[in-house]
A and B are shown apart, each in its own frame.
Chain A
Amino acid sequence: DAGVTQSPTHLIKTRGQQVTLRCSPISGHKSVSWYQQVLGQGPQFIFQYYEKEERGRGNFPDRFSARQFPNYSSELNVNALLLGDSALYLCASSPPQGATKDNEQFFGPGTRLTVL
């Protein structure tokens, strides 16, 4: 089975630009979460979506937004990019509660965003 996939793998943008990152969860997973990992830190929670509805939001500004599509894939959008947005953006999916390994989040390889 394919794991969580993310695109693109790398991205370079300049300050003020906008970026869209994409994530496809593992087949059968309906929950998708986004995390930001700055160099030297652990991942920090941005958003969680389940069945196309936002279920949680971390402490990030309104420049960050996301959505989930009927096929459970997801997009993360960041507007008005700042230098500090340079990070690895990770997407994770998890099985429905009650399913095998429902306690685990499976991470994709991430998108490495550099803002110049």
Chain B
Amino acid sequence: RKEVEQDPGPFNVPEGATVAFNCTYSNSASQSFFWYRQDCRKEPKLLMSVYSSGNEDGRFTAQLNRASQYISLLIRDSKLSDSATYLCVVRRDTGRRALTFGSGTRLQVQP
């Protein structure tokens, strides 16, 4: 079983739609959580950190449920430029601070 599991998609949605991605993680020692965005053949870039209280950045909302070991990302009013792969990422904050990535969920926003 992978440490971070994501639905690979693709999610094909029209412009303006709301789309939600989910992710589960298996290592209860995970302490920090992130969503990264990766465009085709480019490097991953941090989209947002995820906090237990939930957090919002413009059209993006991230939620964390530690009890269920579940992370979500909600994108409202989708834009064509949101088309990318979204990577769910966890990290232990003791010892080595390596990131553990899910396989990513591909989003295609269509006109």
Chain A residues near B (Cβ < 8 Å): 31, 33, 35, 40-45, 48, 55-56, 58, 90, 92, 94, 103-105, 107-110
What total of chain B residues lie within 8 Å of the partner, measured CB to CB? 21
CA distance A20 to B42 in the complex (A): 21
CA distance A33 to B89 in the complex (A): 15
Cβ contact within 8 Å between A105 and B99: yes
- Min C-beta distance of B24 to chain A, whole Å: 14
Cβ contact within 8 Å between A40 and B44: no
Residue of B nearest to A31 (CB): B97
CA distance A110 to B45 in the complex (A): 12
A48 contact set on B, CB distance < 8 A: 96-98
Residue of B nearest to A44 (CB): B101
Scan residues 27-78 of chain B and give those whose CB is less than 8 A from a CB of chain A.
Answer: 32, 42-46, 49
Cβ contact within 8 Å between B97 and A43: no
A94 contact set on B, CB distance < 8 A: 97
Cβ contact within 8 Å between B44 and A90: yes
B100 contact set on A, CB distance < 8 A: 45
Residue of B nearest to A108 (CB): B43
B45 contact set on A, CB distance < 8 A: 107
- Min C-beta distance of A102 to chain B, whole Å: 10
Cβ contact within 8 Å between A42 and B87: yes
Residue of A nearest to B100 (CB): A45
Other-chain residue from A31, A42, A104 in contact with B102 (beta carbon distance below 8 A):
A42
B95 at the interface (CB under 8 A from A): yes
Cβ contact within 8 Å between A104 and B98: no
- Min C-beta distance of B52 to chain A, whole Å: 15
B4 at the interface (CB under 8 A from A): yes
